[in-house]
């Protein structure tokens, strides 16, 4: 990094040391802080600075890294008041489409541009020069001992494995060498102390193995082949366009968009695959490596800081050709981005509701538009917004109507709990219990789906009827018996389960009401004690590695009954799983959520019933479900608007003429869960009052 004081002067022609001032140039530098705009700085004209350069600048008493956003304006702050740029960082330029994307997101979300820029510079260490990586190499004495040329120096089996790994391979860090040799790090350090190994320094940015787009993939069905050729043609043509890859569950959508990735790699561009849950990453990585012979770059919150730093630099340097990650991967500084794929595009996990509030699916379309590259949205149950865009010819559609290999769609049967009643304090219908027993007897697996984390959604006092509520947002506290606490799923508040009722002080009167996945697991263990069970929910998995381990256990038939929330209904393939039980299938239809029917329809296509969201899955027809849901939603929306209007008119001083400049509130469908609950509660109170 050049020193700004030394760089502003040159030697005079007569050999004297008197400095000569260099001509200076203004630059606007955007900093990753919640600031409304860029600040002007000065730099010598001889410096190689352009819009997109990463620079180091002073701000008060601090020195920060920022991005040169544009040339400074001459009519701005006086030049003598401006501070100089400290230096230019050795980082590739931020591409112009990404800078435009930052500005667009900031304008659309009413967020300071610096806050959006911070998401693109989330790994500050990646801007620093790479540090050498200490490693171990085999010494001459180690080679001699391995060949047993020196008598009296006998090696243990573990030490011989370490020496052989280095003799046959490259130098490795201590931890990696111990892992490869199958021993502890103490064995490696012992060889270093004896002089059999020597310390060396490796470059920190090691080359990545590139995916081979020439590798032949699995044979595609006729429908898959038509869809793959359509996507390859769009990528070869270039330019912006959005395509919905729509197919029933098991139709082979992943292999189709793998063909699109191969086409993007053939053109020499990078590809980005967005996933809604990091738990899905491991399974996609395995399929990708089998298809292309190399793993893609991962990007999610479970990575270590060193892994994030390496991934960020490789993306910026175009060494990472394919990235698979969560929604934040959309803001990585791709150098040659040529394709964006949003898998499970309907999933609500793509929406971020803290900090910069955005929906990654919609922002992916925006980034594709600004970069003039194709975008592919993948789903078996597309969102209503995507279907509306298809109907209005804004998006193209590629459809896979049948399952791959001639597989049939499952038989779906609704169980009326009014007629087939579970036993007291039980939640599994007798017909479902019998089906589970038959499936286990046949040596097959069962999945029980209930979209409720924890043990019970409500804790109630039998003595006085008091309900345990969150002190922050008044939502019901959910009991998590595995963790031994009550937790609010809206704001994150947690507390221990009290022994006495907070209202009437009755001892032992608090009881759990309703089922969660933990309570379901308790019931399953009582009914089928010999069955191997596991719970798969976001709060029982510590990260992608834990999810991958659980998925591998299920695939290897190490689990008989899997109980989980919506995380189990997202792209997993379990060959021996032949029975799925959806508990309280109409649970999501209750409440004030305008998207209740849509969300009930999407995860796994629930059983048929009177509601449109539960009837249409039998036909696998989400267009029909959308039309029915629209008819169902209209009276609900009108009732909601009337209630909100009555609530507004009941406020003191309220009225249309009193606040002519008041900004409209955001649509309810775009608000967060806690906001919707508060709005619905206020409307009900206003209506009852």
For residue 203, pLDDT over 80 is answered with no
Nearest to 468 by CA among 515, 427, 500, 428: 500
Gyration radius of the chain over CA positions: 30
For residue 645, pLDDT over 90 is answered with no
* Within a domain: 330: yes
- Bridge partners for 396 per DSSP: 243
Return d(Cα 137, Cα 604) in angstroms, integer. Answer: 52
Q: For position 495, which CATH number holds?
A: 3.40.50
pLDDT at position 663 is: 31
Give the domain range for residue 360: 222-406
- Residue found under tokens 């193209």: 396
Judge contact between 453 and 516, C-beta under 8 A. Answer: yes
Return d(Cα 586, Cα 604) in angstroms, integer. Answer: 13
* Within a domain: 98: no
Q: For position 89, which CATH number holds?
A: 3.40.1440
Q: Do 196 and 230 reside in the same domain of the chain?
A: no
pLDDT at position 669 is: 36
Residue 223 backbone class (left: φ over 0; alpha: ψ -120 to 50; beta: rest): alpha
Least confident range of 45-59, 508-522, 597-611, 612-626: 612-626
Q: Do 277 and 381 reside in the same domain of the chain?
A: yes
| Structure-token pair, residue 91 | 């980082």
Judge contact between 589 and 628, C-beta under 8 A. Answer: no
Torsion of CA 345, 347, 350, 353, to 10 degrees: 150
* Within a domain: 210: no
| Structure-token pair, residue 666 | 């955001």
Cα distances (angstroms) measured from residue 219 to each of 222, 252, 291, 644: 10, 11, 12, 56
Tell me the pLDDT band of 593, cut-offs 50, 70 and 90. Answer: low
Judge contact between 236 and 172, C-beta under 8 A. Answer: no
The predicted model gives 287-292 an average pLDDT of 90
Q: Which of residues 393 and 593 earns the better pLDDT score? A: 393
Q: Do 393 and 436 reside in the same domain of the chain?
A: no
Q: Which of residues 503 and 407 earns the better pLDDT score? A: 503
* Within a domain: 417: no
**Percent of residues, the chain, with pLDDT higher than 70:** 80
* Within a domain: 346: yes
| Structure-token pair, residue 509 | 């009167």
pLDDT at position 230 is: 95
Q: Do 457 and 468 reside in the same domain of the chain?
A: yes
DSSP string, 510-541: EEEES--HHHHHHHHHHH-TTS-EEEE-TTT-
Tell me the pLDDT band of 640, cut-offs 50, 70 and 90. Answer: low
Judge contact between 196 and 154, C-beta under 8 A. Answer: no
Question: What digits encode the pLDDT tens for the residues 423-447?
Answer: 888 999 999 999 999 999 999 999 9
pLDDT at position 19 is: 52
Question: What digits encode the pLDDT tens for the residues 44-78?
Answer: 999 999 999 999 999 999 999 999 999 988 887 88
Helices 253-266 and 222-237: crossing angle in degrees, nearest 10, is 30
pLDDT at position 306 is: 82
Q: State the DSSP H helix or E strand holding residue 494, giving kind and residue range, or none if neither.
A: strand 494-495
Task: Mark which of 540, 559, 586 sits at the end of a domain.
Answer: 586
Q: Do 389 and 269 reside in the same domain of the chain?
A: yes
* Within a domain: 333: yes
Question: What digits encode the pLDDT tens for the residues 79-94?
Answer: 888 999 999 999 999 9
For residue 12, pLDDT over 70 is answered with no
Q: Do 561 and 439 reside in the same domain of the chain?
A: yes
Q: Do 522 and 641 reside in the same domain of the chain?
A: no
Tell me the pLDDT band of 599, cut-offs 50, 70 and 90. Answer: low
Q: Do 395 and 277 reside in the same domain of the chain?
A: yes
Q: Do 581 and 507 reside in the same domain of the chain?
A: yes
User: How many Cβ atoms are within 10 Å of 181's Cβ, its own excluded?
Assistant: 20
Return d(Cα 487, Cα 490) in angstroms, integer. Answer: 9
Handedness of CA 224, 226, 229, 230 (dihedral sign): negative
Task: Mark which of 145, 173, 202 sits at the end of a domain.
Answer: 202
Q: Do 562 and 465 reside in the same domain of the chain?
A: yes
Q: For position 228, which CATH number holds?
A: 3.40.50.300
pTM: 0.74
Q: Do 147 and 247 reside in the same domain of the chain?
A: no
* Within a domain: 213: no
Return d(Cα 315, Cα 199) in angstroms, integer. Answer: 30
Tell me the pLDDT band of 336, cut-offs 50, 70 and 90. Answer: very high
Tell me the pLDDT band of 538, cut-offs 50, 70 and 90. Answer: confident
Question: What is residue 410's DSSP assignment?
Answer: P
* Within a domain: 106: no
Cα distances (angstroms) measured from residue 669 to each of 381, 472, 596, 633, 637: 18, 23, 10, 12, 10
Tell me the pLDDT band of 396, cut-offs 50, 70 and 90. Answer: very high
Task: Mark which of 565, 586, 607 sits at the end of a domain.
Answer: 586
- Could you give the number of structural domains in the chain? 5
Nearest to 456 by CA among 497, 507, 372, 516: 516
pLDDT at position 614 is: 41
Q: Do 392 and 519 reside in the same domain of the chain?
A: no
- Bridge partners for 500 per DSSP: 507
Q: Which of residues 205 and 104 earns the better pLDDT score? A: 104
């Amino acid at each position: 990094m050049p020193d700004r004081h030394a760089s502003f002067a040159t030697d005079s022609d007569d050999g004297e040391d008197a400095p000569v001032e260099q001509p200076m140039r203004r630059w606007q530098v955007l900093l990753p802080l919640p600031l409304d705009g860029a600040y002007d700085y000065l730099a010598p004209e001889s410096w190689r600075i352009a819009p997109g350069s990463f620079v180091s600048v002073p701000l008060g008493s601090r020195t920060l890294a920022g991005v040169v956003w544009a040339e400074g304006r001459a009519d701005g702050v006086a030049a003598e008041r401006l501070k100089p740029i400290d230096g230019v960082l050795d980082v590739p330029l931020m591409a112009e489409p990404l800078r435009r994307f930052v500005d667009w997101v900031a304008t659309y979300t009413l967020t300071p541009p610096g806050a959006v820029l911070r998401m693109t510079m989330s790994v500050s260490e990646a801007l620093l020069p790479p540090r050498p990586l200490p490693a171990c190499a085999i010494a001459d004495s180690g080679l001699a001992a391995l060949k047993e040329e020196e008598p009296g120096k006998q090696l243990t089996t573990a030490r011989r494995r370490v020496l052989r790994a280095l003799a046959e391979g490259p130098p490795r860090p201590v931890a990696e060498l111990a892992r490869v040799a199958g021993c502890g790090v103490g064995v490696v350090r012992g060889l270093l102390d004896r002089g059999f190994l020597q310390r060396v320094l490796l470059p920190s940015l090691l080359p990545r193995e590139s995916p081979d787009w020439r590798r032949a993939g699995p044979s595609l069905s006729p429908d898959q082949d038509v869809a793959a050729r359509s996507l390859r043609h769009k990528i070869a043509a270039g330019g912006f366009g959005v395509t919905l890859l729509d197919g029933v569950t098991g139709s082979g959508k992943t292999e189709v968009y793998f063909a699109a990735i191969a086409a993007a790699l053939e053109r020499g561009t990078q590809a980005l695959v967005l996933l809604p849950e990091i738990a899905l990453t491991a399974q996609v990585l395995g399929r990708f490596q089998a298809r292309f012979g190399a793993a893609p770059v991962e990007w999610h919150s479970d990575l270590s800081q060193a892994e994030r730093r390496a991934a960020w630099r490789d993306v910026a340097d175009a060494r990472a050709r394919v990235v698979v990650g969560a929604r934040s991967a959309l803001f990585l500084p791709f150098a040659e981005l040529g394709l964006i794929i949003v898998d499970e595009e309907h999933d609500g996990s793509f929406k971020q509701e803290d900090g910069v509030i955005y929906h990654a699916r919609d922002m992916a379309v925006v980034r594709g538009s600004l970069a003039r590259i194709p975008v592919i949205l993948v789903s078996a149950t597309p969102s209503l917004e995507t279907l509306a865009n298809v109907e209005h010819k804004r998006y193209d559609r590629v459809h896979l109507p049948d399952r791959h290999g001639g597989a049939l769609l499952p038989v779906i049967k609704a169980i009326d709990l009014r007629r087939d009643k579970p036993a007291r304090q039980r939640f599994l219908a007798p017909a479902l219990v019998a089906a589970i027993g038959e499936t286990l007897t046949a040596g097959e697996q069962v999945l029980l789906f209930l979209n409720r984390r924890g043990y019970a959604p409500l804790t109630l006092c039998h003595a006085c009827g008091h309900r345990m509520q969150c002190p922050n947002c008044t939502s019901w506290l959910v009991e998590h018996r595995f963790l031994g606490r009550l937790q609010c799923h809206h704001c994150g508040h947690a507390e221990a389960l009290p022994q006495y009722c907070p209202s009437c002080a009755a001892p032992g009167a608090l009881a759990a009401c309703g089922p969660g996945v933990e309570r379901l697991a308790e019931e399953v263990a009582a009914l089928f004690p010999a069955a191997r069970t596991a719970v798969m929910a976001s709060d029982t998995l510590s990260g992608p590695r834990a999810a991958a381990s659980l998925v591998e256990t299920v695939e290897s038939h190490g689990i008989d009954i899997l109980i989980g929330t919506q995380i189990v209904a997202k792209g997993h393939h379990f060959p021996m799983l032949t029975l799925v039980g959806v508990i309280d299938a109409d649970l999501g239809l209750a409440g004030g959520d305008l998207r209740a029917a849509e969300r009930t329809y999407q995860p796994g296509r629930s059983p048929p019933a009177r509601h449109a969201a539960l009837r249409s899955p039998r036909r696998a027809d989400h267009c029909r479900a959308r039309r029915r849901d629209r008819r169902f939603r209209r009276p609900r929306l009108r009732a909601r608007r009337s209630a909100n209007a009555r609530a507004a008119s009941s406020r003191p001083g309220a009225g249309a003429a009193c606040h002519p400049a008041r900004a409209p509130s955001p649509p309810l469908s775009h608000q967060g869960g806690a906001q919707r609950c508060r709005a619905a509660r206020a409307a009900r109170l206003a209506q009852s009052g």
